[in-house]
Amino acid sequence: MKIISALCAALCAVASHATLANAQEAYPSRSVRLIMPFPPGSGTDALARIIAEQLSRKWNQNVVVDNMTGAGGNIGGQTVSRAAPDGYTLLFVPAPPLVINQFIYKSTGYDADALAPITMVGSVPYIMVVRNNFPASSLKEFIAHVKANPGKITYASSSMGSTAQLAALQLENAAGNLQMVHVPYRGAAPALVDVMNGHVDFVFDIVTTSKQLIEAGKMKSFGVASKQRSQIMPAEPTMEENGLPGFQALTWFGMTGPPGLPATLAERIWRDVDESLKIPAVTNRVRGMGIEIDSLPPAEAGKFFVAERKLWGDIVKSRFGAKLD
């Protein structure tokens, strides 16, 4: 009897494994929702639609971008966190819902750390842009001027808790606890315009929108906030080259699944995304948007998300000691 029982158990295990394998091989057998928790028209939305289009072709199933807006991306995060871990509901987002919101909202309604990493698709570095008539011609001179005038230098951002604000806070910390005044705006565009017009001293803006203004001499730059020089502006030195080691502030685009998404399925989805991004026409289209393609596999994407959470979490805690809201 023991032999028969053991044989039955073994056969059941084999059957179960085969069923799971067949299910994953058949994925997807129906439409996939790609939750994008911000309005249509943004760079994140455009990138999500490029990837959805390519996956639809590869999978021969509809991949539908669902713009589920609200609460700074938290509504979308909640939806994916509660979905079945079967790969049919995925999240495509910039940094805040995955690594920043948990530090600035009293409750996001989901555990971002528990979401299953699939990939970090690509990134755009921030650049420190300063009004033309600011009395400094380098980052070193800028820092010295701020120290000599505590509480008098202003910086813009697209909103409270935005990456642009946190990048400025990182600058305050890295340069020796500088004291500057934050001026939040409703969006990145009006913030940039007011710096260009000299109403605010500086802003951290993505290189894709600042490039032409800097090259036209309407503003000056004190460094790109990435570890390597930007492919978009290769002549611009990094903040590290200008004297702040390890300084990094990126807007990036990640994909995750619900908690419990099988590692093999996450790997499968990443490989299909990666193959899509390597199609020359797609590569050119994405780079034409100013996005530097990274396409990290799940394990590396997970490590990247953890590092970003630590970076921004430490900054919020060091400056405020509590959540911003």
Say whether pLDDT at 301 is over 60: yes
Say whether pLDDT at 173 is over 70: yes
What's the pLDDT score for residue 316? 87
Average pLDDT (157-166) is 88
14 inside domain = no
Phi, psi of 37 (to 5 degrees): -80, 35
233 inside domain = no
Going by pLDDT thresholds of 50, 70 and 90, the confidence category of residue 2 is very low
203 inside domain = yes
3 inside domain = no
What's the pLDDT score for residue 188? 86
What's the pLDDT score for residue 16? 42
236 inside domain = no
Angstrom CA distances, 197 to 28, 159, 201, 218, stand at 51, 19, 10, 9
Say whether pLDDT at 125 is over 50: yes
Average pLDDT (258-286) is 97
> Which of 72, 133, 85, 51 has the alpha carbon at shortest distance from 258?
85
Going by pLDDT thresholds of 50, 70 and 90, the confidence category of residue 41 is confident
Average pLDDT (170-185) is 94
Which CATH number is 147's domain given?
3.40.190.10
Query: pLDDT digit string (tens) for 93-120?
Result: 999 999 999 998 989 999 999 999 999 9
The count of domains in the chain is: 2
Average pLDDT (20-29) is 67
Could you tell me the residue range of the domain that residue 311 belongs to?
30-123+250-320
Does residue 86 share a domain with residue 139?
Answer: no
At CA 209, angle to CA 147 and CA 192, rounded to 5?
45
What's the pLDDT score for residue 15? 45
DSSP alpha helices (H): ranges in the chain? 2-26, 43-59, 74-81, 95, 101-104, 139-148, 163-174, 188-196, 207-215, 263-277, 280-288, 298-320
282 inside domain = yes
What is the rounded CA–CA span in Å between residue 35 and residue 90? 6
C-beta atoms surrounding 99 within 10 Å: 25
Does residue 195 share a domain with residue 50?
Answer: no
Output the average pLDDT for the chain.
Answer: 90
Ranking 15-24, 94-103, 185-194, 273-282 by mean pLDDT, the lowest is: 15-24
What is the rounded CA–CA span in Å between residue 27 and residue 310? 34
Query: pLDDT digit string (tens) for 43-79?
Result: 899 999 999 999 999 999 999 999 998 888 999 999 9
Which CATH number is 274's domain given?
3.40.190.150
Of residues 107 and 3, more confidently modeled:
107
Contact between 118 and 266 (Cβ < 8 Å): yes
Q: Which of 224, 259, 292 is the last residue of a domain?
A: 224
Strand 292-296 and strand 32-35: the pairing is unpaired
Say whether pLDDT at 284 is over 80: yes
Q: What tokens does 101 get?
A: 């919101």
Does residue 168 share a domain with residue 92?
Answer: no
Average pLDDT (259-271) is 98
pTM of the predicted model, to two decimals?
0.85
Please tell me the total number of residues recorded for the chain in this structure: 325
What's the pLDDT score for residue 325? 56
13 inside domain = no
Type of residue found at 53: E
Does residue 131 share a domain with residue 94?
Answer: no
Does residue 198 share a domain with residue 139?
Answer: yes
Q: Which of 181, 208, 224 is the last residue of a domain?
A: 224
Q: What tokens does 195 get?
A: 């710096």
Phi, psi of 250 (to 5 degrees): -125, 150
Going by pLDDT thresholds of 50, 70 and 90, the confidence category of residue 25 is low
Say whether pLDDT at 22 is over 60: no
What is the rounded CA–CA span in Å between residue 45 and residue 36? 7
Burial of 267 (0-12, 13-18, 19+ CB in 10 A): middle
285 inside domain = yes
Say whether pLDDT at 38 is over 80: yes
